[in-house]
Amino acid sequence: MSDVDDFLTRYLNNIANQYESSRFKPECEPGERETVKVACRDGVELTVDIYKPATPGPWPTIVVRCPYPQQVELWRLHGEQLNRRGYAMVCEWCRGTHTSGGTWEPNVNERNDGADLLAWCEEQDWIDVIGLWGTSYLSLTCWTVADITTPKVASICANHYGTDRFSSAYQKGSFRCDVLTAWAMQNAGHPVSADYLESARHLPQMTVDEDMWGGRLDWYRDWISHPKGDDPYWDEGFWGLLKQIPSRVKVPMFIHEGWFDHHLGSALTGYASLDEEIKKHSWLRIGCWNHYFLNPLEGLEPEHLDATEVPAALEWFDLTLKRRQTPERKVEYYEVGDDSWHTASSWPLPAGDTRQVSLYLAEDGALAGEAPKAASEVGYDYDPADPVMTRGGEALLTTMNEIGARIQPEPNWRDDVVTFESEPLEHDLHIQGRISVDLYVSSSAPDTAFTAKLMCVDPDGTARNYRTSITTIGLDTPDAAPYTPGETRRVTIDMWDICWKVPAGSRIRCDISSSDFPQYAVHTNHAGLWSEQTDTQVAHQTIHMGADAPSAIVLPVRG
């Protein structure tokens, strides 16, 4: 059995166990699966699998749209288990996938095809009321029709996806290749046998499709051509439409996310953008899990993690479809390190509920509560030909074994990794919100990257990362001027939201470097469009500290 097959088997067993352990017990038997063709407005016919309970209808019905043929057994399992709990299920296979007609082109057909499926559902007398459900790309197919839902649609449960595509693709100029380069290879529309890591490092990246994958993918080339968030590309066409949808959503939404899911940043943007009236009747739940709802904490098994997707979805659909109640606003989130769940009236917390605490980088590798008065610096050489390989992170999808909080190597474990560490904390530190790292840096290159990895070091010396991120000098701010080698410049490494308790007796550690591959594409140390670079050069990097260059970690602290 291959690793992929083994993962799918374990995943199916996990889903079955989630149904069985939920408080929603079987109440009837499943019927036989039916398969029909549903015509789209342009005449293309898509395959639809229908699962109905073996009891008289009409039934509350869960509608999903899926592009992944490898998930046939998963949705058969969901259909049968939902039938047992009194729901029908409709699973449509996206255009050009599985046995559906048409040509597969990611994203762009989902709005019209989804609208056509909902129009068909409106005509089915066995469908009583509809809930849309999906995770990842299947969640995208929910979002694409969230503002044009038909009368039978009562609610949406959208897991692990956001509507700000740019923030899912880039972090300050660095491409999330472990998410999107790998996804492009897996969903090219034809088999791709090339090595993924070699593909992600191919120069120029702009021609990797024809050079290594067997055919041109214009949509991938578009993604890697627009590294600026204010580029009109992200506000036009499909991506522009997707960004606007949250403010126009017509039904209550349940947005289900994980601290270590690569769509977290984009999903929280989508939640924040919901119309206030819709937000009053929507749920947000953020737990400690990865994109696959698996425990991301290496070596730890918290008792209250509750890393599951099915029970929460069943609760949502029981309320909105079976009981036909309008939900009241609910925000729930898990505190990493405390193994506790919390509720709030909003996310993020009101500004007055947190305060900023700064830990300053010091010459001796310390993190101090006050900025050093004397200026100092530390340097290293960054060679793109020998990048720091990702060990733990949140913007990962394909390198599954590195997703999450992983046990880290010793401090300063490479010549191009500089470690800073605090003294043991005297009191618990409750971090809640967005962490940032302000660095004063200089480089011998005309453009380059800087990374930060923030960790908790247990009293026994075990270190685990909880937040990582990156910036490039050239794209650190939207109006960043071209960089002159040798110039000292302040950059800010912004990290995604988290709720995290660092317990008393532990230390905070921060590793600074210039690469984190394959979580982010390798920076070549050249200026200009990254995907057109054809070679690399070594850069000497300098971190400036103290005096007029107070490099620091800025923590939002509760209490």
Of the CA atoms within 13 Å of residue 142, those in its CB half-sphere come to 30
pLDDT mean over 306-328: 97
* 215-274 confidence digits (pLDDT tens): 999 999 999 999 999 999 999 999 999 999 999 999 999 999 999 999 999 999 999 999
* 137-156 confidence digits (pLDDT tens): 999 999 999 999 999 999 99
Contact 83, 54 (CB under 8 A): yes
- Report the alpha-carbon distance of residue 61 to residue 153 in Å, rounded: 9
Does 77 have pLDDT greater than 70?
Answer: yes
- Report the alpha-carbon distance of residue 230 to residue 209 in Å, rounded: 26
Contact 539, 346 (CB under 8 A): no
pLDDT mean over 369-380: 96
Contact 129, 317 (CB under 8 A): no
* 108-119 confidence digits (pLDDT tens): 899 999 999 999
| Closest C-alpha to 79, from 89, 69, 71 | 89
Per-residue pLDDT, 2: 57
DSSP 331: E
Per-residue pLDDT, 9: 86
**What's this model's pTM, rounded to 2 decimal places?**
0.95
Compute the mean pLDDT over every residue in the chain, rounded to the nearest whole number: 96
Distant-in-sequence, close-in-space partners of 4: CB < 8 Å, separation ≥ 6: none
* 180-204 confidence digits (pLDDT tens): 999 999 999 899 999 999 999 999 9
Does 297 have pLDDT greater than 80?
Answer: yes
The two structure tokens encoding residue 273: 């953008």
Does 83 have pLDDT greater than 60?
Answer: yes
- Report the alpha-carbon distance of residue 530 to residue 221 in Å, rounded: 12
Does 3 have pLDDT greater than 70?
Answer: no
- Report the alpha-carbon distance of residue 224 to residue 218 in Å, rounded: 10
Q: Where are the alpha helices (DSSP H) in 175-300?
A: 177-186, 196-201, 208, 218-223, 237-244, 264-273, 276-279
Helix, strand, or coil (residue 307): coil
Say if strands 449-457 and 354-361 run parallel, antiparallel, or are unpaired. Answer: unpaired
* 441-497 confidence digits (pLDDT tens): 999 999 999 999 999 999 999 999 999 999 999 999 999 999 999 999 999 999 999
- Report the alpha-carbon distance of residue 382 to residue 143 in Å, rounded: 41
| Closest C-alpha to 471, from 490, 487, 492 | 492
Of the CA atoms within 13 Å of residue 2, those in its CB half-sphere come to 3
Per-residue pLDDT, 138: 98
Binning pLDDT at 50, 70 and 90, where does residue 100 land? very high
Domains of the chain, earliest start first: 28-166+230-344 (3.40.50.1820), 175-224 (no CATH), 351-526+536-558 (2.60.120.260)
Q: Which residue shows structure tokens 């009409």?
A: 58
- Report the alpha-carbon distance of residue 54 to residue 47 in Å, rounded: 22
Does 27 have pLDDT greater than 80?
Answer: yes
The two structure tokens encoding residue 433: 């919100």
Per-residue pLDDT, 202: 98
Instruction: Express as a percent the part of the chain with pLDDT over 90.
Output: 95
- Report the alpha-carbon distance of residue 417 to residue 101 in Å, rounded: 51
- Residues forming a β-bridge with 540: 381
The two structure tokens encoding residue 357: 């605490």
pLDDT mean over 356-381: 96
Per-residue pLDDT, 1: 45
Per-residue pLDDT, 453: 98
Say if strands 153-159 and 127-135 run parallel, antiparallel, or are unpaired. Answer: parallel
- Report the alpha-carbon distance of residue 143 to residue 157 in Å, rounded: 10
Per-residue pLDDT, 351: 74
pLDDT mean over 279-298: 97
Name the phi and psi angles at 41, rounded to 5: -60, -25
Does 4 have pLDDT greater than 70?
Answer: no
